[in-house]
């Protein structure tokens, strides 16, 4: 009976909600849907991390309020991880903020740094929650097209002088959701230069940081000289350690941004369950064998799926990282029409590219988040539609 606030009305519509209900409607008719539409990892958290949570959960100290800004063990583990993986030295007391998953941080940052009307440069196609955070902070969006001919990296020369002058924040995300592209060191160097020149804060979303194929290790933004002066990286344990349900991540890098995030969070929450933080520290510090295995699993799924689609005549490219394939829609369909067609006729769900922004039109996103058998079954079902032969 209560009217919602004007602010709530400014939030973008949650695109995935409509996909979820379309999938549910087809499943309710008794069909076996192969759901490649969402980005929900299907594999369990490695045992040693779960065991750490179990023992930490039994410790009564963890049943009480914990330090507001997170436990030092996790902040220290985050820094050790960055030193070991990327050779980057960071201060656990000043350069790390614990987050309730990457999403919370991404939505909080615009509220920390923007005044109403400030401009934010956002990749298009891109993860929709960048838009939510900017809407909550009453900022203005300037879209940066990610085009296939530019390897899905934004071309900063496309941005108007006005947009660059107004911009306060720049979101990037590599390995990229939805395109599966990875960034080069040179691109990040160019980004640092631009950020310095234009006084823009860079937020690099490193959600798929651990997941690169063909031996390619993803570059951390913080590996670039001067990166810490102009930005931060958002790291989450959701993907690399199959911990999406645990809601744990961290922001790392520029001290003033980290301070702003912690200040805001002081007003929002007491830090997350300390047992979860202890388990997250364990994930970062223990043997990374499970991560290597995970990457091999996704790589093998990618090969099976992409080669399968190519063998039925669909002209698709293999992603270099993340766990998504970004597939060109055949002529004559919009991305939404095509994803509806696949769902209704092959019972294969993929996400329409338009849900990631206007430059996502012409593509659909398929998650490699089921077994090779199911991916092959999806290929067979698509083949039976005889769209590509």
User: Interface with ligand PLP includes 108 (CB under 6 A)?
Assistant: no
Residues 6+ apart with CB under 8 A from 83: 89, 90
Shorter beta-carbon distance to ligand PLP: residue 139 or 249: 249
Are the beta carbons of 102 and 306 closer than 8 angstroms?
no
**Position among 45, 179, 236, 290 found at the interface with ligand PLP (CB under 6 A):** 236
Closest CB 310 distance from ligand PLP, rounded Å: 25
The two beta strands, 140-145 and 348-349, are unpaired
Q: Which of residues 200-229 bind ligand PLP (CB under 6 A)?
A: 205, 207
Piece in contact with ligand PLP (CB under 6 A), picked from 99-107, 261-269, 286-294, 343-351: 99-107
Q: Applying CB under 6 A, does 142 fall inside the site for ligand PLP?
A: no
Long-range contacts for 291-297 (Cβ within 8 Å, ≥24 apart)?
291/210, 291/240, 291/241, 294/43, 294/210, 294/211, 294/240, 294/242, 295/210, 295/211, 295/212, 295/213, 297/43
- Rounded CA-CA distance 109/130 in Å is 10
Residue 253 C-beta: closest distance to ligand PLP, Å: 16
Give backbone dihedrals phi and psi of 388, rounded to 5 degrees, phi first: -115, -5
Contact code string over 310-339 relative to ligand PLP, x by CB under 6 A: ------------------------------
Of the residues 70, 154, 249, 253, which one makes contact with ligand PLP according to CB under 6 A: 249
Cα three-residue angle 55-60-65, rounded to 5 degrees: 115
| Interaction of residue 101 with ligand PLP, rule CB under 6 A | yes
Phi-psi domain of 241 (left: phi exceeds 0; alpha: psi -120 through 50; beta: other): alpha
In our burial notation (b when 16+ CB lie closer than 10 A, e otherwise), range 299-321 reads bebbebbbebbeebebebebbbb
- Contact window for ligand PLP (CB under 6 A) among 89-97, 214-222, 236-244, 337-345: 236-244
- Which residue of 132, 177, 271, 290 would you call a contact of ligand PLP, by CB under 6 A? 177
Closer by beta carbon to ligand PLP, 102 or else 308: 102
* Closest to 282 in 3D by CA, of 74, 62, 59: 74
Among 23, 35, 39, 70, binds ligand PLP (CB under 6 A): 39
Q: How far apart are CA 173 and CA 180, in angstroms?
A: 10
Residue number, 177 or 254, with CB nearest to ligand PLP: 177
Q: For 31, which DSSP code?
A: -
The rounded radius of gyration (Å) of the Cα atoms in the chain is: 21
DSSP string, 293-334: HHHHHHHHHHHHHHHHHHHTT------SBTTEEEEEPPTT--
Residue 244 binds to ligand PLP (criterion: CB under 6 A): yes
Q: Which is nearer to ligand PLP, 88 or 351 (CB)?
A: 351
Nearer to ligand PLP (CB atom), residue 125 or residue 274: 125
* Segment contacting ligand PLP by CB under 6 A, of 77-85, 98-106, 194-202, 350-358: 98-106
Using the contact rule CB under 6 A, the part of the chain among 46-54, 96-104, 327-335, 340-348 near ligand PLP is 96-104
- Residue 231 sits at φ, ψ, to 5 deg, of -175, -175
Q: Which is nearer to ligand PLP, 244 or 285 (CB)?
A: 244
User: Residue count at the site for ligand PLP (CB under 6 A)?
Assistant: 13
What residues line the site for ligand PLP (CB under 6 A)?
39, 101-103, 127, 173, 177, 205, 207, 236, 238, 244, 249
């Amino acid at each position: 009976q209560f009217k919602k606030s004007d602010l709530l009305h400014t939030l973008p519509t949650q695109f995935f909600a409509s996909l979820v209900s379309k999938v549910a409607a087809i499943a309710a008719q008794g069909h076996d849907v192969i759901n490649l539409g969402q980005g929900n990892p299907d594999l369990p958290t490695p045992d040693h991390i779960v065991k750490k949570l179990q023992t930490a959960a039994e410790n009564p100290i963890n049943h009480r309020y914990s330090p507001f800004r997170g436990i030092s063990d996790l902040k220290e583990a985050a820094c050790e991880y960055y030193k070991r993986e990327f050779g980057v030295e960071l201060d656990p007391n000043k350069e790390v903020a614990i987050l309730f998953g990457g999403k919370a941080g991404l939505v909080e940052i615009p509220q920390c740094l923007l005044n109403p009307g400030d401009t934010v440069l956002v990749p298009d196609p891109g993860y929709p929650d960048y838009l939510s955070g900017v809407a909550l902070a009453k900022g203005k969006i300037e879209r940066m097209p990610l085009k296939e001919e530019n390897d899905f990296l934004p071309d900063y020369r496309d941005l108007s002088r006005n947009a660059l002058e107004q911009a306060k924040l720049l979101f990037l995300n590599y390995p990229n959701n939805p395109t599966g592209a990875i960034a080069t060191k040179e691109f990040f160097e160019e980004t640092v230069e631009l950020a310095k020149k234009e006084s823009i804060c860079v937020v690099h979303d490193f959600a798929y940081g651990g997941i690169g194929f063909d031996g390619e290790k993803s570059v951390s933004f913080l590996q670039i000289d001067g990166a810490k002066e102009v930005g931060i990286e958002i790291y989450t344990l959701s993907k690399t350690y199959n911990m999406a349900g645990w809601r744990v991540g961290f922001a790392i890098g520029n001290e003033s941004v980290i301070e702003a995030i912690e200040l805001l969070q002081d007003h929002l929450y007491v830090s997350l369950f300390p047992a979860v933080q202890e388990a997250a520290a364990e994930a970062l510090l223990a043997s990374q064998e499970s991560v290597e295995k995970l990457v091999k699993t996704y790589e093998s799924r990618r090969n099976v799926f992409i080669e399968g689609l190519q063998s039925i005549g669909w002209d698709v490219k293999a992603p270099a990282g993340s766990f998504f394939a970004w597939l060109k829609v055949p002529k004559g369909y919009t991305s939404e029409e095509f994803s509806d067609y696949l769902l209704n006729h092959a019972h294969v769900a993929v996400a329409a590219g338009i849900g990631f922004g206007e430059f996502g039109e012409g593509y659909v996103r398929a998650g490699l988040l089921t077994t090779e058998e199911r991916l092959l079954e999806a290929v067979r079902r698509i083949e039976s539609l005889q769209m590509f032969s």
